[in-house]
Amino acid sequence: MTPACLALDNVSRHFGGLKAVDKVNLIVQPGERRAVIGPNGAGKTTLFNVISGEVRASEGTIALFGDDVTKLAPHQRAVRGMARTFQITKLFPNLTVMENVLLACEAQDPRRFTMHRPMSSCVDLERRAEALLAQFGLGTFAHDTAKNLSYGVQRKLEVALSMAGRPRLLLLDEPMAGLSSGESESMLAILRNLDSAVAVLLIEHDMDIAFAFAERVTVLYQGRVLTDGHKDEVSANRTVQDIYLGSPIAE
Amino acid sequence: MDAANLPSNVLRGWRRPVFYALAVLLVVGPPFLSTYWVGLLTQMVILAILAMSLDILLGYTGLPSLGHAAFFGVAAYAVAVLATRYQLGFWTCVLGGIMIGTLCSAAIGLIVSHVRDVYFLMITLAIGMVLWGLSNRWIPMTGGDNGLAGIPRLETHAGLPFAGPIPFYYVTLLVFAVSAGIMALLVRSPFGLTLRGVRESESRMKSLGFNTWLHCYLSFVISGVFASVAGVMWAYYNGFVSPTYLDLTASSELFLMVTLGGPATLVGPVIGAGAIVLLKNVISAYTARWLLILGIVYIVAILGAPQGLWNLGRSKRT
């Protein structure tokens, strides 16, 4: 049996007395489409930061494709096949869209240390970048500076950057947040067209989007996994409905 | 330095004629100028190499070093010590100077590449001051604040068949052209793009899989190499070294050259170096308070061209 893409074993992250992530167990299989939902402050983004290595886990272990990566830095996890997007867009604002994508393409290529010839001579990298821009509908923006793009286009570029390194596990942190309904739909179409071999873990605040995209859903509440299962089971779950409808939860 | 070596966006609009006019001036100007002006031009060209080397670090990588003159100074001292105390030959002195300056930056880079922003500024400032202190106090080796005199003329030391300010100028210009060509290629290379990536968003670089520490470190060392090249030329130009080469004033003047000229352009720092050498020498002929004038010029430039002279009329960077 192939190892799980991602396996979290009792992972916690405390900030002082606050347990932002509390004993979370989570397994993502290859090619799976999984959503992590939860109300504001549930610890979704912290969980992502712990998985990608921006924030160290206080307890527990994180395994990526069967290897323990708990103590590895973000870039070391990235080269093992994990990529992520950020809830607050993180692009290279003063570079062009093409340069943004070229950087992402060379991240895991030995030519990132090449100093003696211009980027323009690396034809295959440029081809890859162009293909990626086409896939995400960004071709017409290739020579625009990233900071001048509209927010919707920036969000697409954010996803394009994360796919450039051909990851096997993709973490998406609220890719639809702040998008208009039209932009949101085109983003959903892009996400659905992603290579089915790539496992996708999606954080979403909006249940409709989460259920439209994922087969399996994990509900996070106050740092803990409240429930985890097929979307139909989760949507039928009374406690989940209570959390989202705001009624007090029976302890 | 040919235009093909420069990033394509450098030579748009008014920059193209200005660039070629400056290039022509540098190449054909000296025979028509007085010795005094040839000397100034030589200073400008040497300091331009130094300013470009800081641009790699400050403009492209976004690491603001306030101790960059230290490597320039260390290389100059290395040449002086090797040439006067050990009476070594030309190539030993040149390569020794470059290697000692580079090794120094390679060792210091190990420490400073871990920090960013204002912390980088402070730690490079501190280390720069330590090296300055060493040049001042390690009297048996450096001669203290008397400095070291008696470095042979480059032309005689290298055994060249010609001598004088103009031949020295052209040797300097050749070193400048080669250095500028290499740096221009470097910033356009895949590695050069990663440096701009670090400047723009280091956390995004990490999540893409870049070991950003290594990229910062390499940037620091490369910039140390070219600072050392400039230091070697400076030692030969003056025939003399003193602690003022690596003091805080030197480092902050250098910082000014880059920010005044326009960071991340390579051409900008060359213009900045020229402007500051010019101001320093012309104004100081009239008043001892030339730093005051320089300060005013700098404030005017910040208000009128906040992205530096070479970026005038370009959209603002956020």
Q: Are B79 and B229 in contact (CB under 8 A)?
A: no
Task: Indicate whether A132 pLDDT > 60.
Answer: yes
Rounded Cα gap, residues A111 and B293, in angstroms: 47
Decide if B218 and A113 are in contact by the 8 Å CB cutoff: yes
In a domain, A251, yes or no: no
Decide if B200 and A112 are in contact by the 8 Å CB cutoff: no
Q: Are B207 and B117 in contact (CB under 8 A)?
A: no
Decide if B185 and A102 are in contact by the 8 Å CB cutoff: no
Q: What is the ipTM of this complex?
A: 0.89
Neighbours of A76 (CB within 10 A): 16
Number of domains in chain A: 1
Name the average pLDDT for chain B: 89
Q: Where are the alpha helices (DSSP H) in chain B?
A: 15-28, 35-55, 69-80, 90-112, 117-137, 139-142, 154-157, 165-188, 190-200, 202-208, 212-238, 248-261, 267-284, 290-304
- Give the pLDDT band of residue B4 (cuts 50, 70, 90): very low
What local confidence, expressed as pLDDT, does residue B284 receive? 84
Nearest chain A residue (CA) to B211: A75
Task: Indicate whether B34 pLDDT > 50.
Answer: yes
Task: Indicate whether A1 pLDDT > 80.
Answer: no
Partners of A167 on chain B (C-beta within 8 Å) are none
What local confidence, expressed as pLDDT, does residue A251 receive? 45
- Give the pLDDT band of residue B130 (cuts 50, 70, 90): very high
**For residue A126, which amino acid is it?**
E
Decide if B204 and A78 are in contact by the 8 Å CB cutoff: no
Partners of A78 on chain B (C-beta within 8 Å) are 206-209
Look at the alpha carbons of B17, B18, B19, B20 in this order and tell me if their dihedral is positive or negative: positive
The CATH number of the domain where A43 resides is what? 3.40.50.300
In a domain, A1, yes or no: no
Rounded Cα gap, residues B205 and A92, in angstroms: 9
Decide if B212 and A99 are in contact by the 8 Å CB cutoff: no
Rounded Cα gap, residues B65 and B179, in angstroms: 20
Rounded Cα gap, residues A139 and B188, in angstroms: 22
Nearest chain A residue (CA) to B212: A75
Which of A75, A125, A162 has the CB atom closest to B206's CB atom? Answer: A75
What local confidence, expressed as pLDDT, does residue B317 receive? 52
Please tell me the distance in Å from B202's CA to the nearest CA on chain A: 9
Residues 69 to 128 of A: which have CB under 8 A from any B CB?
Answer: 73-75, 78-79, 83-84, 86, 90-95, 99, 102-104, 106-109, 111-120, 122, 125
Chain A / chain B CB contacts < 8 angstroms: 107
What local confidence, expressed as pLDDT, does residue B282 receive? 86
- For the segment B49-81, what is each residue's pLDDT rounded down to a tens digit? 999 999 999 999 999 999 999 999 999 999 999
Phi, then psi, of A229 in degrees rounded to 5: 175, -170
Task: Indicate whether B313 pLDDT > 90.
Answer: no
% of chain B with per-residue pLDDT over 70 = 96
Partners of B209 on chain A (C-beta within 8 Å) are 75, 78-79, 107-108, 165
% of chain A with per-residue pLDDT over 70 = 97
Q: What is the 3-state secondary structure (H, E, C) of chain A?
A: CCCCCEEEEEEEEEECCEEEEEEEEEEECCCCEEEEECCCCCCHHHHHHHHHCCCCCCEEEEEECCEECCCCCHHHHHCCCEEECCCCCCCCCCCEHHHHHHHHHHCCCHHHHCCCCCHHHCHHHHHHHHHHHHHCCCHHHCCCEHHHCCHHHHHHHHHHHHHCCCCCEEEEECCCCCCCHHHHHHHHHHHHCCCCCCEEEEEECCHHHHHHHCCEEEEEECCEEEEEEEHHHHHHCHHHHHHHHCCCCCC
Decide if B208 and A91 are in contact by the 8 Å CB cutoff: no
- Report residue B100 as tokens: 């000692």
Q: Are A199 and A34 in contact (CB under 8 A)?
A: yes
In the block, residue with structure tokens 């890719």: A175
User: Which candidate, A174, A214, A207, A194, places its Cα nearest to that of A34?
Assistant: A214
A79, A80, A122, B137, B156 from A106: Cα distances, Å: 12, 15, 10, 47, 48
Please compute, for residue B103, the number of CA atoms within 13 A of its CA located in the half-sphere on the CB side: 8
In a domain, A135, yes or no: yes
**What is the arithmetic mean of pLDDT over A129-143?**
93
- Give the pLDDT band of residue A209 (cuts 50, 70, 90): confident
Best mutation target among A112, A145, A149, A157 (most B Cβ atoms within 10 Å) is A112
Residues 140 to 199 of B: which have CB under 8 A from any A CB?
Answer: 185-186, 188-194, 196-197
In a domain, A69, yes or no: yes
Q: Are B85 and B142 in contact (CB under 8 A)?
A: no
Q: Are B237 and B250 in contact (CB under 8 A)?
A: no
Name the average pLDDT for chain A: 90
Partners of A84 on chain B (C-beta within 8 Å) are 207
| Length, in residues, of chain A | 251
Q: Are B123 and B142 in contact (CB under 8 A)?
A: no
Which of A54, A92, A111 has the CB atom closest to B190's CB atom? Answer: A111
Neighbours of A108 (CB within 10 A): 18
Decide if A115 and B192 are in contact by the 8 Å CB cutoff: yes
In a domain, A73, yes or no: yes
Query: What's the whole-model pTM score?
Result: 0.91
Please compute, for residue A7, the number of CA atoms within 13 A of its CA located in the half-sphere on the CB side: 11
Nearest chain B residue (CA) to A48: B207
Decide if A93 and B318 are in contact by the 8 Å CB cutoff: yes
Partners of A147 on chain B (C-beta within 8 Å) are 318
* SS3 label, residue B306: coil
Partners of A83 on chain B (C-beta within 8 Å) are 207-208
**What is the arithmetic mean of pLDDT over A222-247?**
83
User: Which residue range forms the structural domain that includes residue A231?
Assistant: 6-245
Q: Are A183 and A175 in contact (CB under 8 A)?
A: no
Please tell me the distance in Å from B78's CA to the nearest CA on chain A: 28
- For the segment B244-279, what is each residue's pLDDT rounded down to a tens digit? 888 888 898 899 999 999 999 999 999 999 999 998
> What domains does chain B contain, in order, with CATH numbers?
3-311 (1.10.3470)
- For the segment A52-84, what is each residue's pLDDT rounded down to a tens digit? 999 999 999 999 999 999 999 999 999 999 999
Partners of A96 on chain B (C-beta within 8 Å) are none
**For residue B129, which amino acid is it?**
M
A85, A152, A203, B193, B201 from B198: Cα distances, Å: 17, 24, 27, 9, 5
Nearest chain B residue (CA) to A90: B204
What local confidence, expressed as pLDDT, does residue B291 receive? 80
Residues 204 to 223 of B: which have CB under 8 A from any A CB?
Answer: 204-212, 218
